[in-house]
């Protein structure tokens, strides 16, 4: 007896995300090949720190 074909049919094509990420690669917010410079990163970190300090 061939036990390899017993049971229901195989489910295929379910390897897709349930939703789109807001910062997915290739979107307007996160385009391909764009890297923030260190100056931009420091500026964002300082702005976040001051906003947290004010709150």
44: left (phi over 0), alpha (psi -120 to 50) or beta: alpha
Which of 45, 48, 47 lies closest to 36, judged by CA? 45
pLDDT tens digit sequence for 7-38: 766 666 677 778 888 878 888 877 887 777 89
Distance between CA 30 and CA 26 in Å, rounded? 6
Q: Are 29 and 22 in contact (CB under 8 A)?
A: yes
With bands split at pLDDT 50, 70 and 90, how would you rate the model's confidence at 1?
Answer: low
């Amino acid at each position: 007896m061939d036990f390899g074909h017993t049971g229901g049919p195989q489910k295929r094509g379910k390897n897709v995300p349930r939703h789109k990420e807001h910062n997915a690669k290739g979107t307007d917010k996160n385009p391909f090949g764009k890297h923030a410079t260190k100056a931009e990163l420091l500026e964002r970190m300082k702005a976040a720190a001051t906003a947290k300090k004010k709150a």
